[in-house]
Amino acid sequence: MKRKGSEFADLSVAMITPFRDGSVDYDALRRQVEFQVDAGTKCLCPVGTTGESPTLSHEEHEKVISEVVQTAAGRSKVMAGTGSNSTAEALRLTRWAAKEGADAALVVAPYYNKPTQEGFYQHYKQVAEAVQIPICVYNIPGRAAKNIEPETICRLAEVDNITMVKEATGQLDQASHILAATDLTVLSGDDSLTLPLMSIGGEGVISVVGNIIPQDMIQLVHAHQQSDINRAIQWHHKLFPLCRDMLGLATNPIPIKIAMKMLGRDSGDLRLPMTPLDSAGESKLQQTLTGYGLL
């Protein structure tokens, strides 16, 4: 069955937002875009969780979207993070992304205020009906404090331009329910679950570790797409320690930013309340990067 949103199948990368001396480093951001384009990344996802969107001003959030769209210039798709726990703010950001030429919007579940399931439904419906670009529902209960239940996502699938789900619940049963009952494209929101999710019908990943090894994540996804299951499993096992540490050593995006600093690809600067890894965490991350062959 061809699914809505299948044009976003493959590797999407949840981009960091580079900072230097407290400000967004737009030159570094443009270099990150070029790095991903050169790697063959299908889609760039700026200003999501990994992009530290909660600590960006509204002006910075909009400018990051614009810079990524303009730099990518159609060579990679752009799915801009435009979610908020305020429906009005999510509407404003999503309209901005559409106006600037983003190919889709990644809209995280409203966080902290814990809507009812009807509240989730009305939130996404209003945003989707206000724009023409495809919407990806980003379901991450660990951040939002509440799950968008599969029955609610099935209702949302009836809205024409709600076409994708970024599945970050860690529950394959929930993903199976969505895949069996809808024609939505499901993308993994956890790097380490990319292959398991694809094995039940998912079509790719919105990846954190793709910030440093996009080509290896592409190899994993393509191996499964080509039904080369043994090769896909080999890539899964190789990637697993790196994927585990990027989300396990500390809250995302702390480990990926420190990894990129170690690799000479970012300053490693974070905005409070995010703080750097402690010495034990840095040592473990350095061991993992060395074991992978990156250091």
- Any idea which residues carry the catalytic annotation? 138, 166
> What 3-state class would DSSP assign to 275?
coil
**234, containing H or E segment:** helix 229-248
CA distance 182 to 290: 42
- CA dist 245 and 266 (Å) reads 18
**DSSP state, 200?**
T
**C-alpha span between 135 and 218 (Å, rounded):** 23
Spatial CA neighbour of 139 closest among 168, 163, 117: 168
The DSSP code for 40 is T
End-to-end CA distance of the chain: 43
Nearest to 191 by CA among 267, 139, 246: 246
Q: Please provide residue 47's backbone torsions phi and psi, each rounded to the nearest 5 degrees.
A: 50, 45
User: Are 186 and 179 spatial neighbours (Cβ–Cβ below 8 Å)?
Assistant: yes
74 contact partners, CB below 8 Å, separation of at least 6: none
Please check whether residue 24 is in contact with residue 16, taking contact to mean a CB–CB distance below 8 angstroms: no
**166 residue type, one letter:** K
> Quick check: helix, strand or coil at residue 91?
helix
Cis (ω within 30 of 0) for the bond into 241?
no
